[in-house]
Chain A
Amino acid sequence: MTDSKYFTTTKKGEIFELKSELNSDKKEKKKEAVKKVIASMTVGKDVSALFPDVVNCMQTDNLELKKLVYLYLMNYAKSQPDMAIMAVNTFVKDCEDSNPLIRALAVRTMGCIRVDKITEYLCEPLRKCLKDEDPYVRKTAAVCVAKLYDISSSMVEDQGFLDQLKDLLSDSNPMVVANAVAALSEINEASVSGRPLVEMNAPTINKLLTALNECTEWGQVFILDALSNYSPRDAREAHSICERITPRLAHANAAVVLSAVKVLMKLMEMVSADTELVSTLSRKLAPPLVTLLSAEPEVQYVALRNINLVVQKRPDILKHEMKVFFVKYNDPIYVKLEKLDIMIRLASQANIAQVLGELKEYATEVDVDFVRKAVRAIGRCAIKVEPSAERCVSTLLELIQTKVNYVVQEAIVVIKDIFRKYPNKYESIISTLCENLDTLDEPEARASMVWIVGEYAERIDNADELLDSFLEGFHDENAQVQLQLLTAVVKLFLKRPADTQELVQHVLSLATQDSDNPDLRDRGFIYWRLLSTDPAAAKEVVLADKPLISEETDLLEPTLLDELICHISSLASVYHKPPTAFVEGRGAGVRKSLPSRGVVAEETNTQQPTVIPNQESLIGDLLSMDIGGPPPAPAPSSNVDLLAGGLDVLLGGGPEPGASAAAVPGGASGLLGDIFAVSAAPASYVPPKQCWLPADKGKGLEIWGTFSRQNGQPRMEMTFTNKAMQPMTGFAIQLNKNSFGVYPVGGLAVGAVGAGAGAEAALPLATHGPVQRMDPLNNLQVAIKNNIDVFYFACLIPAHILFTEDGQLDKRVFLTTWKEIPAANEVQHTLSNVVGTADSIAQKMTLNNIFTIAKRNVEGQDMLYQSLKLTNNIWVLLELKLQPGNPEATLSLKSRTVEVATCIFQAYEAIIKS
């Protein structure tokens, strides 16, 4: 007797037949009929017409029949809301039943019926069940709260179910705790505001950790995921959580293991790197990760995607485990490709011989995609592990000898990169490459080959013939190949002008006259103009030295990597995208970030070009900004400001505190400032430019920059260099909220920057924007957008550009203020390498809006009393003690807001040295 008999009735009146059976008096017949209905439902047949008849069977003592009817109800109540009401009474009665199984079943089923009218009746029974004496009922009720939240979030909040759920977190039964955690995390995730509705605190965490040991494997996953959202207060707490979680790594369930890895990876950030705990954990993390690879291929795949993240964040953990990533020939292709990726990441000088041996083996396999990736991997090894480059190149040559078409093409593409990484080292193999010219049929391989021919035209005797042969089918080529051909021929001409004039004219006319591709035409015209006006300049441009390519091309951005580490074991970790990028209904506010180690942020060092930004604020704030949009509007009464500001400049600083923000808003006046700047005589000190965004972080965009103050307005001066192969356009800038309220006036005046070109930009700044305290105080977080991506970096604002022109105090005011400020607010600092006399220093200072109030000579020492005012109306009083002949000077500072001292001292040092 099997259930397949339920499908045997295929006669016309099936529904009718079932109806009469359902209304039969015999219990047994009824049950069989309901079973038939359920069976039809599972295969997707519509049996909703039987709704009233099935509901009639609900009042029964037979639990199996009850369950079957409930199954039916869950499926069809939505389509028959009026009928579903008929069931409510039974539900409410069942919630009072003496059998806990029935109570739980009733509350569970009610939650699944997504009909508003029923939900109203659900509240009372649910409230009772949440306090039920039987833990089985309580744990079912906890899940029911999550169901209800999904249907009506306001009802859950209004009826106080959230608080009841929170109480369940300290339930005596671990299963109840686990389900409460699961329900709460789902509610938090679904919460419209994007902020968690329930915050975890240390006592709750403690309870969760206790429950962790005793609940089911699924409960452990829920609890571990909840723990990963908690940031411990200090390293000690992190330490103790780590210790209590580590045993989970030995669980048989892969999901538990990976969730534990997530929590540990996150907490390891909290404890300083050199402690024993980190090394112990690193050692303990490796074996479970390796074991995941012996599970089913599906588990392997997810594990490998996560291991990829772990390896990027902490390469040490798996550095000795290279062998487990070797590919088995019957692994599914998705596992093979992932393993290969990790092999390259783990490749080092120590294991490169083994890795190359394997990669060579893979290059002879059957699967084309895999073979291609293996060949590419050899190239990446050559670029990554320098001492192995030679061996890699010879391996690639051997592979080229096999003449397998796609292997050859792939090899040529990677050899091009190797040439760029190690110029003038392996060019001897060019002749071998040229032999394979005819077999190349993929655009990328053809383009690479053409690039090689053009780049090394002087070494290839028949370069002109080779290129000429390509030109025959110029119009049939892919755009990528056409562009390379054009450049290669121009290179050839510049190197061997004598016999290639005809060729270059041919290609230029092909590119400019016969092509529809605007890129190609433009490049053609540029070359043409360059060649016809100044061949020497053309040589400098076309044959310029190329920047070296970076070692690893496909590393994740550090901020993204850190975010993904927090999402290990989730879908985000499989896609390597932040959840905000693909999960629907997520606000931007719920981004997670690794906790920062307190020590790092405190280091304020001028030598450091970029201060490690506080992750939390950088991600949280910068990303919520609208990058492309206009900058925040300047203060409303711009006319008054303009006048006052202008006056300030003219009068050299009137003692009018209200108009202190001497910034001139508006694009036009910014321009005015620019003009003035040109004529302005000895101006204030401008620090040398520093590299703010290196090219390898900016996808080829390099930014050097500094700050200056001209005509009473601070400015940000930047040099953009495009080191990528494609032009960059659409530049825009945003500054994060900062301690001094600095924000840009007008947009970034940078147009398109072509490949290899540069651009200068000066951005006037105003100082009454939104304020947020940064650490260090003068830290400024910047976002630059262009057509390629958005880049984030942080820089330090030299304090002196924020000194206003009206910072001169009256002598008497200075004296009284100095006395008024308590001694606790005095900071001393020793300046070294001070040169020049007191007068020359005072003069230098005045140029930077540090005004000398008085000068005294006490016992052979020159005392300078100086005052300055910051744009945010903070007055700073200083006493500079100079001893002629002594390169050290003592600086005493008094201010009501003494926090600014550090950056003022930095400014002093910088100005004195200038």
Chain B
Amino acid sequence: MIHSLFIINPSGDVFLEKHWRSVIPRSVCDYYLEAQRASPNDVPPVLAAPHHYLISIHRGGVALVAVCKQEVAPLFVIEFLHRVVDTFQDYFSDCTETIIKENYVVVYELLDEMLDNGFPLATESNILKELIKPPNILRTIANTVTGKSNVSSTLPSGQLSNVPWRRSGVKYANNEAYFDVVEEVDAIIDKSGATVNAEIQGYIDCCIKLSGMPDLTLTFVNPRLFDDVSFHPCVRFKRWEAERILSFIPPDGNFRLMSYHIGSQSVVAIPIYVRHSLTLRSNGDQGRLDLTVGPKQTMGRTLENVALEICMPKCVLNCCLTANQGKYSYDPVSKMLLWDIGRIELPKLPNIKGSVSVVSGADTTGASPSINVHFTIPQLAVSGLRVSRLDMYGAKYKPFKGVKYVTKAGKFHVRM
């Protein structure tokens, strides 16, 4: 299991180490740093050192490197490290070097509570929060005055119940349950505009503030859409299998109820198109670029936050473009062209065109970049998924309920 954890900043300094078994010298991180030097952005997640295995993830500019001595399941470790980051974000709203340094002691206490002898102990955020109170200014002041600490001295109630994700005795003045259905479209569009591959990664995030022990059921109009689903442990799988209904006692607060995958069985609607032409050798050392973006299959909704990212071929020196909407920027070092369009208002289609200067005599064959497209469509789940109703049992009050749909671009690539 996990022996030790090192947290490393971008300049290669270990600024936190935690050992759950015997102490492993931090020089073991050199193997990681070596791999990082070789390929700064693409360090393989599993590395072998002579006597150890280093399993790492990158988040918020820092690298979390777990060191293991024996055979482990790498995904187990990776998932755990993700959970550590999530917990830090939950506690300190971010996971950066400065924030971790500012909260050293809480971080250390948390790590100690999350893992015992390399075995995960308490990773549910509501249990952790009962054990170690998240820091906030008000409490710090109160603690200083009253001499109390932010470490609870009683056993968290949810720790051993059948619903470990929910603490008992939750009380709210306003009872509310909100659901966000978010769908991300992953697609590869080829030069001619044909779809090579398209799939939807969807998830339902909830914000639930309900008193007592509510038992919820969520029903969909068209549950047959899903190819694959993964649920939060609170969802009763049997009922889903039998009736295609989500039945659960929710955790308190924000959590991801389910994530799903749609793609291999059904046709995925592509809500945007990009017309593009890039010629690098039209006129001496000047090439031309012309891009137009427009909506399609959006079911009457508008495209918002549209932005295009193009990593231009190495031979492109600079771009001189005019856009009829939005702003563009070109970084000649990273060769990244960014065009931030914003909202697409019909009938005017956003267009950008102009000249690109190319290194004279450079080889321009075979250099075809990809456009990375970003967009959001509010009030639309592109798969057509709809929630039909939400019922609550086990509590007497009437909660506020709400469902919000949004579609976003995931990894959406257009090849030029």
Given contacts A247-B241, A294-B201, A328-B413, contact A569 B73 (CB under 8 A): yes
Bound complex: CA of A588 vs CA of B151, how far in Å? 47
Comparing B168-176, B292-300, B361-369, the segment that makes contact with chain A is: B361-369
Comparing A106-114, A467-475, A830-838, the segment that makes contact with chain B is: A106-114
Given contacts A255-B73, A569-B73, contact A358 B196 (CB under 8 A): yes
Q: Which 6 A-B pairs have the closest CB atoms?
A: A287-B228, A64-B149, A64-B151, A298-B45, A2-B102, A218-B120
Which residues between 1 and 53 of chain B lie within 8 Å of chain A, taking CB atoms?
A: 1, 14-23, 26, 39, 41-42, 44-46, 48, 51, 53
Which residues between 303 and 345 of chain A lie within 8 Å of chain B, taking CB atoms?
A: 303, 320-321, 323-324, 326, 328-330, 332-334
- B interface residues, tally (CB under 8 Å): 105
Contact partner of B108 (CB less than 8 A), chosen from A71, A259, A301, is A71
Q: Is there a chain A Cβ closer than 8 Å to B320's Cβ?
A: no
Q: Is there a chain B Cβ closer than 8 Å to A24's Cβ?
A: no
Q: Is there a chain B Cβ closer than 8 Å to A278's Cβ?
A: no
Q: Is there a chain A Cβ closer than 8 Å to B401's Cβ?
A: no
What bracket does the count of chain A residues touching chain B fall in?
35 or more
Contact partner of A43 (CB less than 8 A), chosen from B15, B48, B144, is B15
Check if A332 sits within 8 Å of B42, measured CB to CB.
Answer: yes
A-B contact pairs, 20 of them (CB 8 A): A4-B102, A39-B105, A43-B16, A63-B153, A64-B149, A71-B109, A78-B22, A218-B120, A250-B229, A254-B75, A258-B75, A287-B228, A324-B263, A328-B186, A328-B413, A329-B370, A358-B196, A402-B365, A404-B365, A567-B71
Check if A287 sits within 8 Å of B109, measured CB to CB.
Answer: no
Bound complex: CA of A216 vs CA of B120, how far in Å? 10
Q: Is there a chain B Cβ closer than 8 Å to A678's Cβ?
A: no
Check if B74 sits within 8 Å of A302, measured CB to CB.
Answer: yes
Report chain B residues within 8 Å CB of A27: 147
Q: Is there a chain B Cβ closer than 8 Å to A143's Cβ?
A: yes
Report chain A residues within 8 Å CB of B410: 294
Smallest CB separation, A260 vs chain B (Å): 12
Report chain B residues within 8 Å CB of A291: 228, 230, 259, 261
Smallest CB separation, B268 vs chain A (Å): 11
Check if B79 sits within 8 Å of A334, measured CB to CB.
Answer: no
Check if B71 sits within 8 Å of A147, measured CB to CB.
Answer: no
Q: Is there a chain B Cβ closer than 8 Å to A290's Cβ?
A: yes
Check if B160 sits within 8 Å of A173, measured CB to CB.
Answer: yes
Which residues between 70 and 110 of chain B lie within 8 Å of chain A, taking CB atoms?
A: 70-76, 78-80, 82, 101-109
Given contacts A136-B155, A218-B123, A402-B366, contact A301 B45 (CB under 8 A): yes
Bound complex: CA of A333 vs CA of B43, how far in Å? 9
Given contacts A62-B149, A218-B120, A294-B201, contact A571 B231 (CB under 8 A): no
Contact flags (1/0) for A355-388 with B, using CB distance below 8 Å? 0011001001010000000000000000000000
Q: Is there a chain A Cβ closer than 8 Å to B159's Cβ?
A: yes
Given contacts A324-B264, A582-B48, contact A333 B42 (CB under 8 A): yes
Smallest CB separation, B149 vs chain A (Å): 4
Comparing B111-119, B211-219, B275-283, B350-358, the segment that makes contact with chain A is: B111-119
**A323-B264, A574-B74 given. 9 additional CB < 8 A pairs?**
A7-B101, A44-B26, A111-B117, A114-B22, A225-B73, A252-B232, A294-B410, A302-B45, A333-B39
Report chain A residues within 8 Å CB of B45: 297-298, 301-302, 334
Q: Is there a chain B Cβ closer than 8 Å to A3's Cβ?
A: yes
Bound complex: CA of A134 vs CA of B264, how far in Å? 48
Which residues between 344 and 388 of chain B lie within 8 Å of chain A, taking CB atoms?
A: 363, 365-368, 370, 372
Q: Is there a chain B Cβ closer than 8 Å to A251's Cβ?
A: yes
Q: Which of B79, B186, B259, B363 has the most CB of A within 10 A?
A: B79
Contact partner of A67 (CB less than 8 A), chosen from B16, B109, B264, B413, is B109
Smallest CB separation, A293 vs chain B (Å): 9
Which residues on A are within 8 Å of B, measured CB to CB? 1-4, 6-7, 27-28, 31, 35, 38-39, 42-44, 62-65, 67-68, 71, 75, 78, 99-101, 108, 111-112, 114, 134-136, 140, 143-144, 146-147, 150, 173, 175, 179, 182-183, 186, 189-190, 214, 216-218, 221-222, 225, 247, 250-255, 257-259, 287-288, 290-291, 294, 296-299, 301-303, 320-321, 323-324, 326, 328-330, 332-334, 354, 357-358, 361, 364, 366, 402-404, 567, 569-572, 574-575, 579, 582-586
Given contacts A111-B117, A366-B314, contact A290 B57 (CB under 8 A): no
A335: nearest chain-B partner, CB-CB: B42
Bound complex: CA of A43 vs CA of B8, how far in Å? 11
Given contacts A255-B73, A570-B73, contact A217 B233 (CB under 8 A): yes
Bound complex: CA of A147 vs CA of B118, how far in Å? 10
Smallest CB separation, B145 vs chain A (Å): 11
Q: Is there a chain A Cβ closer than 8 Å to B252's Cβ?
A: no
Bound complex: CA of A146 vs CA of B45, how far in Å? 28
Report chain A residues within 8 Å CB of B334: none
Given contacts A42-B17, A173-B160, A570-B72, contact A329 B155 (CB under 8 A): no
Check if A321 sits within 8 Å of B151, measured CB to CB.
Answer: no
Check if B261 sits within 8 Å of A296, measured CB to CB.
Answer: no
B256: nearest chain-A partner, CB-CB: A252
Given contacts A44-B17, A255-B76, A361-B415, contact A320 B264 (CB under 8 A): yes
Report chain A residues within 8 Å CB of B123: 216-218
Smallest CB separation, A628 vs chain B (Å): 26
Contact flags (1/0) for B197-222 with A, using CB distance below 8 Å? 10101000000000000000000000
Report chain A residues within 8 Å CB of B120: 216, 218
Q: Is there a chain A Cβ closer than 8 Å to B227's Cβ?
A: yes
Check if B109 sits within 8 Å of A252, measured CB to CB.
Answer: no
Q: Which of B19, B46, B56 has the most CB of A within 10 A?
A: B46
Check if B70 sits within 8 Å of A189, measured CB to CB.
Answer: yes
Given contacts A175-B160, A290-B261, A321-B264, contact A108 B116 (CB under 8 A): yes
Smallest CB separation, A403 vs chain B (Å): 8
Report chain B residues within 8 Å CB of A326: 188, 196-197
Report chain B residues within 8 Å CB of A67: 109, 112, 151
Report chain A residues within 8 Å CB of B75: 254-255, 258, 299, 302-303, 569
Smallest CB separation, B15 vs chain A (Å): 6
Smallest CB separation, A388 vs chain B (Å): 18
Given contacts A64-B151, A67-B112, A358-B196, contact A252 B368 (CB under 8 A): no
Check if A99 sits within 8 Å of B154, measured CB to CB.
Answer: yes
Check if B71 sits within 8 Å of A572, measured CB to CB.
Answer: yes
Smallest CB separation, A747 vs chain B (Å): 36
Check if A38 sits within 8 Å of B105, measured CB to CB.
Answer: yes
Check if A42 sits within 8 Å of B18, measured CB to CB.
Answer: yes
Smallest CB separation, B237 vs chain A (Å): 4
Check if B104 sits within 8 Å of A39, measured CB to CB.
Answer: yes
Report chain B residues within 8 Å CB of A329: 311, 370, 372, 413
Q: Is there a chain A Cβ closer than 8 Å to B399's Cβ?
A: no
Bound complex: CA of A567 vs CA of B19, how far in Å? 27
Check if A42 sits within 8 Å of B228, measured CB to CB.
Answer: no
Contact partner of A75 (CB less than 8 A), chosen from B23, B162, B258, B411, is B23
Check if B74 sits within 8 Å of A571, measured CB to CB.
Answer: yes
B16: nearest chain-A partner, CB-CB: A42
Check if A324 sits within 8 Å of B366, measured CB to CB.
Answer: no
A79: nearest chain-B partner, CB-CB: B23
Report chain A residues within 8 Å CB of B160: 135-136, 173, 175
Check if A136 sits within 8 Å of B159, measured CB to CB.
Answer: yes
Report chain A residues within 8 Å CB of B14: 44
Q: Is there a chain A Cβ closer than 8 Å to B326's Cβ?
A: no
Given contacts A2-B103, A258-B73, contact A294 B261 (CB under 8 A): yes
Check if A571 sits within 8 Å of B147, measured CB to CB.
Answer: no
Smallest CB separation, A211 vs chain B (Å): 12
Given contacts A182-B119, A402-B366, contact A250 B411 (CB under 8 A): no
Given contacts A99-B153, A136-B159, A150-B21, contact A290 B71 (CB under 8 A): no
Smallest CB separation, A374 vs chain B (Å): 12
Report chain B residues within 8 Å CB of A320: 264
Check if B153 sits within 8 Å of A101, measured CB to CB.
Answer: yes
Check if A584 sits within 8 Å of B228, measured CB to CB.
Answer: no
Check if B19 sits within 8 Å of A101, measured CB to CB.
Answer: no
